[in-house]
Amino acid sequence: MTEIVRLEGITKIYQDGKVAVPALRGIELSVQKGEFVAVAGPSGSGKTTLLNIVGGLDHPNKGSVFLEGKHLGQMSRGELSRLRLNRIGFVFQSYNLIPVLTAFENAEFVLLLQKRPTEERRQRVANLLEEVGLSGLEGRFPRDMSGGQQQRIAIARSIAPEPALVLADEPTANVDSQTASGLLDLMERLNQKKGVTFLFSTHDPAVMERARRLITLKDGRVERDAMK
pLDDT digits (tens, 9 = 90+) for 27-62: 999 999 999 999 999 888 999 999 999 999 999 999
pLDDT in tens, 119-156: 999 999 999 899 888 999 999 999 999 999 999 999 99
Element (H, E) at 80: helix 77-87
Pairwise CA distance, residues 121 & 136, whole Å? 17
Per-residue DSSP letters for 209-225? HH-SEEEEEETTEEEEE
* Residue boundaries of the structural domains of the chain: 34-56+75-227
Is pLDDT above 80 for 195?
Answer: yes
For 34-56+75-227, the fitting CATH number among 3.40.50.300, 3.40.190.10, 3.30.230.10, 3.30.465.10 is 3.40.50.300
Task: Quickly state the pLDDT bin for 186 (edges 50, 70, 90).
Answer: confident
pLDDT in tens, 147-177: 999 999 999 999 998 899 999 998 888 888 8
